[in-house]
Structure 1
Amino acid sequence: MNSLDSVVVIIPTFNERQNLPLVVSRVRAAAPSAEVLVVDDNSPDGTGKLADELAASDERVHVLHRTAKNGLGAAYLAGFAWALDRGFDVMVEMDADGSHQPEQLPSLLSALTGADLVIGARWVPGGRVENWPRHREALSRGANVYARLMLGIPLHDATGGYRAFRRETLEKLDLQGVDSRGYCFQIDLALRSLRAGLRVVEVPITFVERMHGSSKMSQDVIVESMIRVARWGIRDRLRALRR
């Protein structure tokens, strides 16, 4: 395994002004050597300006401003490109709303020593959610069962958005061909990693419902995910039949 010395935590934001300062502070405390990249999609509430202020007071905090809200996947792809260009060894995905506990970041990084991609998982032994409505939990559990059955993958939380990638992993995934925009992006990258023969490990995390603001989950995101997963599953089955 190659070096894991330089780590950047990528945090996409859209109207997260209330949550961002505490999340960044907790990341810096939990992993002092890690750097933080805030990818802001031109938030109307001034999140981008606040991120600039955080960066001005801490040399390990950086900001990437985007001109439009083009979805979670596009924001992460922009963050990955930024980090790859600057030679980081590890790229971490983390939500800006506090649902991903920065204090659990060391356990993800530790697991990465024996893996190519580590997913912080809610639906494995030891994983759990706090303060989540029952319908949200049912939706998430159902989506992951659906992905597991349709795609034939061994993951229990393929939609989980708290994850750590090795640089080499992202370089093998043909990121130019990724066009998933919403939460389906997480399934897409996990599937690509598995199909590339890479080692994907799930570690238990505690997922906590956001304190401020509203979820970015929408019906369009759910429909996109269901259609894409079905399409990928059918494609794989057709390829298997041809073989």
Structure 2
Amino acid sequence: MKNKYLVVIPAYNEEKTIKEVIQRTLPYADIVVVNDASKDKTAEIVKSFKNVVLINHPKNTHIPQAVLDGMQYAYDNGYDYILTMDAGLSHKPEEIPDLLNAPECDLVLSYRGEKKHTPLYRKVLSKAATTFINIALWRFQLTKPIPAFKDVTSGYRRYSKEAVELLLKRESKAKSFDFLTESLMFIYRNNMKIIEVPITYEFSNSSLNKKVVKDSISMLLDILLHNRK
């Protein structure tokens, strides 16, 4: 029987961790790795796993297109749910069942209950992003209470087929990590069901990236000043 769950793993220069990520993820779901024009041996390592699908990008497209290409593969191949996760072991594959077994809904957000070795600036940035985005979501639907999502910047998520279809139909304006917020907004504004589950977050070198900070700040300003449509 075909697995109804697919894990999509965007990867860029993750040769140090991708093998372990795949090995620890395979017991739970099928896997697609989207190699976003890595310059190291990421693609070669993924190819060594015969039961893992590899999508290669000839040039780096950043997070949005990598995730969307994985979603398109999942949609075309009839998967009911897709999970997205980090290739650098920030997300523990052993917690995949927590997302898979969550109640039926369109989006499962993971919130980082336990944050190991996470710098203070990243904690502050994540908290600020979540506060601003909750307010921005409320401005779309003023008749509802202000949302109280705990963490909107975690990429460890579960999307339903219906949510995937919605995101594939919409034109994404996201450039990088702001895709996480943009996709949440699309799903929320279409009155789809969203729930949250706690995870353990292990800060890793792959997530220590100046671009994360830059994109997050840009995203916050965009949402606050323009309430992105």
TM-score (norm 1): 0.83
Q: Find the residue that maps to 2:227 and give its secondary structure.
A: helix
| Counterpart residue type for residue 111 of structure 2 | A
Q: Find the residue that maps to 2:101 and give its secondary structure.
A: helix
Q: Which residue of structure 1 lines up, in the alignment, with residue 208 of structure 2?
A: 215
Q: Which residue of structure 2 lines up, in the alignment, with residue 53 of structure 1?
A: 48
Q: Distance in 2 between matches of 1:135 and 1:11?
A: 26
Deviations 1:99-137 (A, max 9, x none): 1111111011111x3211101111xxxx12101111111
Task: Verify: 1:128 aligned to 2:123, yes or no.
Answer: no
* 8 Å CA contact 2:174, 2:182 repeated in 1: yes
Deviations 1:81-113 (A, max 9, x none): 1111111111110000001111111011111x3
Deviations 1:171-201 (A, max 9, x none): 1345441121211111111111111111100
Q: Which residue of structure 2 lines up, in the alignment, with residue 238 of structure 1?
A: none
Q: Which residue of structure 1 lines up, in the alignment, with residue 16 of structure 2?
A: 18
TM-score (norm 2): 0.88
> Is the alpha carbon distance of 1:232 and 1:28 closer, same or farther for their aligned partners in structure 2, counting shifts above 3 Å?
farther
* 8 Å CA contact 1:148, 1:156 repeated in 2: no
Q: Find the residue that maps to 2:55 and give its secondary structure.
A: strand
Q: Find the residue that maps to 1:205 and give its secondary structure.
A: strand
In the alignment of these two chains, the number of paired residues is 219
Segments of structure 2 that go 5 or more residues without pairing to the other structure are: 139-146
Q: Which residue of structure 1 lines up, in the alignment, with residue 106 of structure 2?
A: 116
* 8 Å CA contact 2:132, 2:224 repeated in 1: no
Q: Find the residue that maps to 1:15 and give its secondary structure.
A: coil
Report the RMSD for the aligned CA atoms in angstroms. Answer: 1.9
* 8 Å CA contact 1:158, 1:187 repeated in 2: yes
Q: Which residue of structure 2 lines up, in the alignment, with residue 162 of structure 1?
A: 156
User: Once the two structures are aligned, what percentage of the paired residues are identical?
Assistant: 27
5 Å-filtered alignment, 1:144-223, equals 144-152=130-138, 153-173=147-167, 175-210=169-204, 212-213=205-206, 215-218=208-211, 219-223=213-217
